[in-house]
Structure 1
Amino acid sequence: AVLVEAPAYPFPEILQEEEMEEEELVLGGCDSDDDGGQSSGLSDLEEEEGEEGDFIVVSEAEIRERQEEDVGILCSMLSVPRAWACALLVHHNWDVVKVQEAWFADEDAVRNAVGLLEEGGGSSSSPRGEKVSTCRICLEESPRGSMSAAPCGHLFCDACWACYIHIAIADGPGCLLLRCPDPACRVLVGKEMVERFAADEDGERYSLHLFRSYAGSNKRLRWCPAPNCQFGVEHVGGETYDVWCKCSHYFCWKCGEEAHRPVDCDTVARILKKHSEVENTKWILAYCKPCPKCHRQIEKNEGCMHMTCKDPCRHQFCWLCLGDWFKHGENTGGLYSCNPFNQAQESRPVDEAELRKKRAQQSLERYTHYYERWAANHTSRQKALQSIAELDTQVECLKDTYCQPHGQLKFLKEAWLQIAECRRVLKWSYAYGFYLRKNRNKQKFFEYLQGEAEAQLDVLHSCAEKEIDVFLDPTDAPLLEDFIAYRSKLVGFTSVVQRYFENLVRDLESGLKDVLPGNGEADAGDASDSGS
């Protein structure tokens, strides 16, 4: 059989978790506010949308207006052209104060650094055809009227200027501080000259580079990661990092992933990395075995059981029992002497590689336990968001059937918003639980809190999703009194679930600090206990 060497385990944490002490989990989400009264409900967050707080949602047009304001301020302050102001701001990372301080401290040094030179050249004013000059790029003679120069006075034909600027813009944002084509010259090619020779598409790209340079300089500004969203979110203070964009996307401002309270950004990155790599790990565990001699992971890709490892090992062994192939002869009972289960177990010593593989399988089973529940709550949340999008139809039906104003039907949306938010919290709580393996008491208390919150959420979810159906049939709808009773019931469930999840988030973000240590017991190597 031909062996194909499989890659090393791509999921080193699976192997290392059983051999090394797990790193301390940084407990708590991006929101480090320890205010016990802060709600984890979407309804509260939605009410705050648009109000002044820790974040400001801004559009691309608003950011461009700010950019133009900064350029105008610098033009007035230093009495320089707009092209110079743009170059100075780009060079100083769009910090108006830094430009001002540097300019008045040593104007000549700033001019030399940016390449600013008073006008001394430019397009020739001579009539076309009267004089000719040689372009220093293409070495062709051209009329002076069809040649241009930067303030340094180095003449190049207009065709070469257009080509030079096109290539510079295509290369990226370096075109914002473009220098004269003469290798020995460091004079800036200004914004007006770039726009003069740039084609329409290149001009738009240059403008985009200038805009991105400005937006990227603001460390407090992050673009919304939702597809096709044109809004940015500016952090103006505070310690809350869960953000509602105007496009309705809810995300963490620090890492750009979806909002993930009560876990922190590092935990999110670790669990998402596991999600992306676990399928490869499952394949290796299912279809690969280590060479008994060199321990490289190998894949069997042909039919016979006689295996030969690659150079330089060249060890020959049996795929079934991993025993030395030369011992599978007449002296040991024949070729298939490894068939009986007991004999195979007794004849083959359990080496370190086999133990590592078993531990990896146990860790993988534990991971699968948490991942399945993580994914199930993710799916439930997506369906809840879909139900919210389709809620208007139900509201109109109930309004017509029971003659209720919209204000009396808001409880439906509030319930579904709470469900969606709690599914999100519950989803990330399973990532929290996956890394919580240090203390048995904390593990049990965490599972108790999580189980109680999940049970209450299931009651609310069922009430909002299934019990509403009887009221949506206008031909056989229950009495108004029954609908009012249902409304009171759903409002009560919503309030109860919100309190349960507030407690869950608060306790997890505090690191379950009220739970006493479990007599020094560490569960880092006990996958069966921590995975139940």
Structure 2
Amino acid sequence: MDSDGDLQNSRSETSEKAFYCNDEDDCKVGSEAEDDDQHDVGDYDAFDEAEPISARKAQLPFTVLAEQDIKQRQEAAVESVMSVLLLSKTQAEILLRNFDWCANQVHEKWFANELSVRDRVGFLENPTIKPQVARLGEMECRICLEYHPIKMMQATACCDHLFCLSCWGGYAHTSISEGPGCLSLRCPIPGCNAAVGDNLILSVASQEDKKKYRRYILRSFVEANKMVKWCPAPRCENAIEFTSESGVHDVACACGHNFCWNCLEEVHRPVECTTVAKWLLKASAESENVNWILANSKPCPTCKRPIEKNSGCMHMTCTPPCKFEFCWLCLGPWSEHGGETGGYNTCNRYEAEKKDGKHREDEKRRRMAKKSLQRYTHYYERWASNEKSRTKALSDLKDLQALQLEKLIDIYSLPASQVEFIRDAWLQIIECRRVLKWTYAYGYYLPEEDDAKKKFFEYLQGQAEAELERLHDCAENGVEAYLGANAPTETAFNEFRLTLARLTAVTRTYFKNLVKALENGLTDVESSAPEASSKAKKRRKKGKSSRGDYSSRLMDEDGNWYCWHCTFANTGTSTTCSMCHHENS
């Protein structure tokens, strides 16, 4: 789209900061990127990974490698092997591909046992078969068995087996068409282990085959390196090198696609990759269809085809060709039913069998299936709803940057930096929607019997969600009021700026706490869960005085106090925080 470039150019330095960090050290893990700006490229999807406002610019734990970057690394490795082992470029390339493009490993193996390495990669010093000249100035090709001028014959760099250029071209074409195995070609003569170098293949291959071959060489570097992976976005040819040991695998490609480097799915922090895999499989599999059928239908007594009863009486008729008529309740033939069995709306026979426990297992299984389906539907609908809201927020941010921010700048004669708080709020909303979405997958897999953890999780999730809704409402509806012909005064706009910025900060704090709690496995449940125990109540009551002392220490010279919970600055006369409503006790 035409506006994508405008969006990526508008991204500020905050796009290079980690959104959530386990601790400050996590944010300090840096990449080895040569170009500091290479992560600041992408379409509006790059807002999937919003970041907070921070004075400290954290280094990113990954490096985006474009095709040219990969080639430079390959060339550097080739130069290293050539200079140390005094080999040709072709030989250095063959060695590196056999040792995962690791120059140090090549050096180590070569000096440890050169003969073994030569045998492994196909560097023959003494060819076993010598070619024979059959005619003056001509030679027989061992593939097509025809005679060609010697200048039209070619051998590998490691043996003396000569073949005509036409046969070499056919051999190269067939091998390249079969896939990356062409990178380890050997001499066509049976029993000859001599390696075929890149220079020979590229000299006889067609333009299309050359392009494929070079692509295989490029991909071999990435696929041999455990710390480098291709970006999974369609049509993206970038690779991502991961350099962090923090355990956080969220990365952002220059194409704008954000994903988890570990599992290659979308960014899903704070949920683990295994949970994401189970959730996505469940969402796409037929398991819930089976549950729905079990919960809402019964099998025909004759053909066993599932039948749903959505209205009407108990008289059921199976579809053709079965056409069996039966009672919905007891599943007996309808011919045995009538007024004496309860008529069309009840079944005395079923009630009697129910008392005897005949249908107990079927009903129990049906109830369990229905309960399971309802529980899954509850979490899935909220997961999908937050994804829909996140997508809508991305679209709103795009419109905001394309139209509304410029209007605000013109109306109030402001520099661009003075409206950046609005963009920061939307970035926060987008990221929080993503986090909130995945907390529902987390909640679904929480053990139902662990009631304390479940309540604590729902409490944290509810608090964070409530703050997010306040922020979203303010960002969505607040800006509109300042765009019309009767726009409020600049003083009112400054008040709106403070309100939105504070809401952004508070929401960030809530979600940071939520993410930290979930990543720690809700280990604070005993002391933090609301109404968890009488001891917890006493601890909280006792803690009020200490928090009061803490709040009294956090007062400025004008007597304003800072909330111990969200750090909002309140007037000295207020007793509750105007932002998060916690008491200043």
Distance in 2 (alpha carbons) for counterparts of 1:413 and 1:118: 66
Which residue matches 1:215?
222
Which residue matches 1:468?
479
Task: Using the TM superposition, name which of 360-369 and 276-285 deviates more.
Answer: 276-285
Q: Identity, % of aligned pairs?
A: 42
| Matched position secondary structure for 2:195 | coil
Distance in 2 (alpha carbons) for counterparts of 1:157 and 1:333: 93
Which residue matches 2:452?
441
Which residue matches 2:488?
478
Do 1:55 and 1:243's aligned partners in 2 also have CA atoms closer than 8 Å? Answer: yes
Which residue matches 1:391?
400
Distance in 2 (alpha carbons) for counterparts of 1:71 and 1:234: 20
> Which whole-Å deviations, capped at 9, do the CAs of 1:411-435 have from their partners, x for residues lacking one?
1011101111111111111111111
Which residue matches 1:373?
382
Distance in 2 (alpha carbons) for counterparts of 1:36 and 1:318: 70
| Matched position secondary structure for 1:466 | helix
Distance in 2 (alpha carbons) for counterparts of 1:351 and 1:138: 79
1:341 paired to 2:346: yes
Do 2:300 and 2:307's aligned partners in 1 also have CA atoms closer than 8 Å? Answer: no
Q: Are residues 131 and 298 of structure 1, via their aligned partners in 2, closer, same or farther at CA, if it must alter by over 3 Å?
A: same
Which residue matches 1:33?
22
Do 1:288 and 1:297's aligned partners in 2 also have CA atoms closer than 8 Å? Answer: no
Letter in 2 for 1:497: T
Root-mean-square deviation (Å): 3.8
| Matched position secondary structure for 1:243 | strand
Distance in 2 (alpha carbons) for counterparts of 1:444 and 1:375: 22
Which residue matches 1:206?
213
Do 2:52 and 2:424's aligned partners in 1 also have CA atoms closer than 8 Å? Answer: no
Cα distance, 1:140 vs. partner? 4.0
Q: Are residues 380 and 47 of structure 1, via their aligned partners in 2, closer, same or farther at CA, if it must alter by over 3 Å?
A: farther
Q: Are residues 184 and 290 of structure 1, via their aligned partners in 2, closer, same or farther at CA, if it must alter by over 3 Å?
A: farther
Cα distance, 1:86 vs. partner? 1.0
Match of 2:155 among 130, 136, 149: 149
1:451 paired to 2:462: yes
Residue pairs, 1:253-332, within 5 angstroms: 253-277=261-285, 280-281=289-290, 284-285=293-294, 289-290=298-299, 298=305, 305=318, 318=326, 320=328, 323=331, 329=335
| Matched position secondary structure for 2:169 | helix
Task: Using the TM superposition, name which of 96-105 and 218-227 deviates more.
Answer: 218-227
Distance in 1 (alpha carbons) for counterparts of 2:329 and 2:282: 31
Distance in 2 (alpha carbons) for counterparts of 1:319 and 1:137: 79
Letter in 2 for 1:261: R
Q: Are residues 98 and 304 of structure 1, via their aligned partners in 2, closer, same or farther at CA, if it must alter by over 3 Å?
A: same
Distance in 2 (alpha carbons) for counterparts of 1:47 and 1:145: 68
Residue pairs, 1:227-246, within 5 angstroms: 227-239=234-246, 240-246=248-254
Which residue matches 2:196?
189
Letter in 2 for 1:232: A
Residue pairs, 1:399-418, within 5 angstroms: 399-418=409-428
Do 2:330 and 2:349's aligned partners in 1 also have CA atoms closer than 8 Å? Answer: no
Cα distance, 1:144 vs. partner? 4.0
Q: Are residues 46 and 127 of structure 1, via their aligned partners in 2, closer, same or farther at CA, if it must alter by over 3 Å?
A: farther
Q: Are residues 306 and 61 of structure 1, via their aligned partners in 2, closer, same or farther at CA, if it must alter by over 3 Å?
A: closer
Do 2:229 and 2:241's aligned partners in 1 also have CA atoms closer than 8 Å? Answer: yes
| Matched position secondary structure for 2:239 | strand
| Matched position secondary structure for 2:79 | helix
> Which whole-Å deviations, capped at 9, do the CAs of 1:214-255 have from their partners, x for residues lacking one?
111221112233333333222223313222333333322211
Distance in 2 (alpha carbons) for counterparts of 1:127 and 1:478: 98
1:131 paired to 2:138: yes
Distance in 1 (alpha carbons) for counterparts of 2:422 and 2:174: 57
Letter in 2 for 1:466: N
Do 1:168 and 1:174's aligned partners in 2 also have CA atoms closer than 8 Å? Answer: yes
Distance in 1 (alpha carbons) for counterparts of 2:187 and 2:115: 19
1:509 paired to 2:513: no
Q: Are residues 179 and 41 of structure 1, via their aligned partners in 2, closer, same or farther at CA, if it must alter by over 3 Å?
A: closer
| Matched position secondary structure for 2:285 | helix
Which residue matches 1:529?
none
Q: Are residues 37 and 209 of structure 1, via their aligned partners in 2, closer, same or farther at CA, if it must alter by over 3 Å?
A: closer
Distance in 1 (alpha carbons) for counterparts of 2:127 and 2:420: 70
Letter in 2 for 1:359: M
Q: Are residues 112 and 72 of structure 1, via their aligned partners in 2, closer, same or farther at CA, if it must alter by over 3 Å?
A: same
Distance in 2 (alpha carbons) for counterparts of 1:469 and 1:273: 41
Do 1:129 and 1:144's aligned partners in 2 also have CA atoms closer than 8 Å? Answer: no
Distance in 1 (alpha carbons) for counterparts of 2:26 and 2:114: 55
Which residue matches 1:101?
108
Which residue matches 1:7?
none
Letter in 2 for 1:459: R
| Matched position secondary structure for 2:187 | coil
Q: Are residues 169 and 300 of structure 1, via their aligned partners in 2, closer, same or farther at CA, if it must alter by over 3 Å?
A: farther
Do 1:306 and 1:317's aligned partners in 2 also have CA atoms closer than 8 Å? Answer: no
Q: How many residues align?
A: 475
Distance in 2 (alpha carbons) for counterparts of 1:34 and 1:225: 29
Cα distance, 1:491 vs. partner? 1.1
Cα distance, 1:447 vs. partner? 1.2
> Which whole-Å deviations, capped at 9, do the CAs of 1:142-166 have from their partners, x for residues lacking one?
4444333324222333222211111
Task: Using the TM superposition, name which of 365-374 and 338-347 deviates more.
Answer: 338-347
Cα distance, 1:42 vs. partner? 2.5
Task: Using the TM superposition, name which of 386-395 and 484-493 deviates more.
Answer: 386-395
Distance in 2 (alpha carbons) for counterparts of 1:410 and 1:157: 67
1:172 paired to 2:183: no
Q: Please, what TM-score do these two structures have when normalized by structure 1?
A: 0.79
Distance in 1 (alpha carbons) for counterparts of 2:53 and 2:225: 25
Do 1:470 and 1:477's aligned partners in 2 also have CA atoms closer than 8 Å? Answer: yes
| Matched position secondary structure for 1:467 | helix
Distance in 2 (alpha carbons) for counterparts of 1:426 and 1:397: 32
Distance in 1 (alpha carbons) for counterparts of 2:406 and 2:475: 16
Q: Please, what TM-score do these two structures have when normalized by structure 2?
A: 0.72
Which residue matches 1:355?
364
- Could you say which structure has the greater relative contact order, defined with CA pairs below 8 angstroms and 6 or more residues apart? 1
> Which whole-Å deviations, capped at 9, do the CAs of 1:95-138 have from their partners, x for residues lacking one?
2122112111221111111111259799x9999984342x3333
Do 2:317 and 2:326's aligned partners in 1 also have CA atoms closer than 8 Å? Answer: no
| Matched position secondary structure for 1:399 | helix
Which residue matches 1:3?
none
| Matched position secondary structure for 1:43 | coil
Q: Are residues 88 and 441 of structure 1, via their aligned partners in 2, closer, same or farther at CA, if it must alter by over 3 Å?
A: same
Q: Are residues 200 and 178 of structure 1, via their aligned partners in 2, closer, same or farther at CA, if it must alter by over 3 Å?
A: same
Do 1:74 and 1:85's aligned partners in 2 also have CA atoms closer than 8 Å? Answer: yes
| Matched position secondary structure for 2:259 | strand
> Which whole-Å deviations, capped at 9, do the CAs of 1:430-482 have from their partners, x for residues lacking one?
11111112311221221122112111111110111112112112x22121121
Letter in 2 for 1:397: K
1:247 paired to 2:250: no
